[in-house]
C-alpha cells in the first residue's frame, strides 16, 4: 500500500508543479472544442475522487450525489477555487488509502454496482489519475510553450541524469 501512496503523491506533485506555472486564464484554455481544459480535468478528477473514496468500503463508488456530466462543463472557477477542489479530492483519496488495513485489501467494493477487489479499485485509480495528470501537463506545455519549466529529465540530459548520484525514482521522496 505504501508504494501505491508514494507513487500517487508523486503524480499529485506533478499536477501541483504544473499549476504553479499557470495563470487563471490558462486553466480554462481548450486546444479545441472537443478537448478538455485543465480546469475541466481537475473538476472531473476531484468529482471522481470524492465519489469513489467517500465511504469507500461501505458504499458504491458512484454516489447518487455525484454530478459527473457537470464535471465536464465549463465553469468560471478561479485558480484558487480549482486548486481547493483538487486538494479536497486528493485529501479524501489519500486519507482513505492511508486508513486501509491489510485485511481491507481482500475485501470487495462496488463501483457502478460492479464488484471489484479493493486492490483492483486502487489499481484502477493508479491508471486513471496519472492518465489525466498527463493530459494536464500536455495542455500546460502547449500553453506555456517556450516558458514551460520541465518536470522531468530535460531533453538531451538523459545520460547525465543516469550517471548522477541522485535517486532515480522521484516517488521515493514520499
Q: State the cell numbers at 119.
A: 486492490
pLDDT the model gives residue 59: 97
Residue 168's pLDDT is what? 83
For the record, the C-alpha cell of 104 comes out as 481491507
Per-residue model confidence (pLDDT) at position 1: 81
Residue 107 pLDDT class (50, 70, 90 cuts): very high
Q: What is the mean pLDDT of residues 103-107?
A: 96
pLDDT digits (tens, 9 = 90+) for 54-97: 999 999 999 999 999 999 999 999 999 999 999 999 999 999 99
DSSP 75: -
Question: Is pLDDT at 167 greater than 90 in this prediction?
Answer: no
Q: Taking 90 as the threshold, does the pLDDT of residue 142 lie above it?
A: yes
Q: What confidence tier does 154 reach under pLDDT thresholds 50, 70, 90? A: confident
The confidence score (pLDDT) of residue 20 equals 98
Q: What is the pTM of this model?
A: 0.94
Interior/surface letters 58-81, b for 16+ CB within 10 angstroms, e for the rest: eeebeeeebeeeebeeeeebebee
Mean pLDDT, the chain, whole residue set: 96
Q: Which helix (H) or strand (E) holds 115?
A: strand 114-117
CA 55 – CA 96 distance, rounded (Å): 8
Q: What is the pLDDT of residue 97?
A: 97
Query: 134 to each of 36, 42, 47, 99, how far by Cα in Å?
Result: 12, 12, 18, 27
* Overall average pLDDT of the 92-104 stretch: 97
Cβ atoms of 39 and 28 closer than 8 Å: yes
Question: What are the tens digits of pLDDT across the range 125-139?
Answer: 999 999 999 999 999
85, 43 contact by CB (below 8 A): yes
Amino acid at each position: 500500500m505504501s508504494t501505491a501512496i508514494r507513487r500517487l503523491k508523486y503524480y499529485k506533485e506533478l499536477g501541483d508543479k504544473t499549476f504553479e506555472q499557470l495563470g487563471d486564464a490558462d486553466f480554462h484554455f481548450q486546444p479545441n472544442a472537443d478537448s478538455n481544459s485543465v480546469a475541466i480535468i481537475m473538476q472531473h478528477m476531484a468529482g471522481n475522487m470524492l465519489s469513489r473514496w467517500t465511504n469507500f468500503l461501505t458504499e458504491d463508488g458512484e454516489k447518487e450525489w455525484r454530478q459527473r456530466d457537470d464535471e465536464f462543463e465549463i465553469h468560471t472557477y478561479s485558480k484558487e477555487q480549482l486548486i481547493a477542489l483538487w486538494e479536497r479530492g486528493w485529501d479524501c483519496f489519500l486519507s482513505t488509502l492511508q486508513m486501509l488495513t491489510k485485511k481491507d485489501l481482500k475485501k470487495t467494493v462496488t463501483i457502478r454496482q460492479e464488484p471489484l477487489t479493493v486492490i483492483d479499485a486502487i489499481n484502477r485509480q493508479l491508471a486513471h489519475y496519472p492518465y489525466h495528470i498527463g493530459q494536464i501537463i500536455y495542455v500546460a506545455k502547449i500553453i506555456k510553450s517556450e516558458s514551460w519549466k520541465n518536470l522531468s529529465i530535460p531533453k538531451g540530459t538523459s545520460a547525465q541524469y543516469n550517471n548522477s548520484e541522485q535517486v532515480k525514482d522521484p516517488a521515493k521522496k514520499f
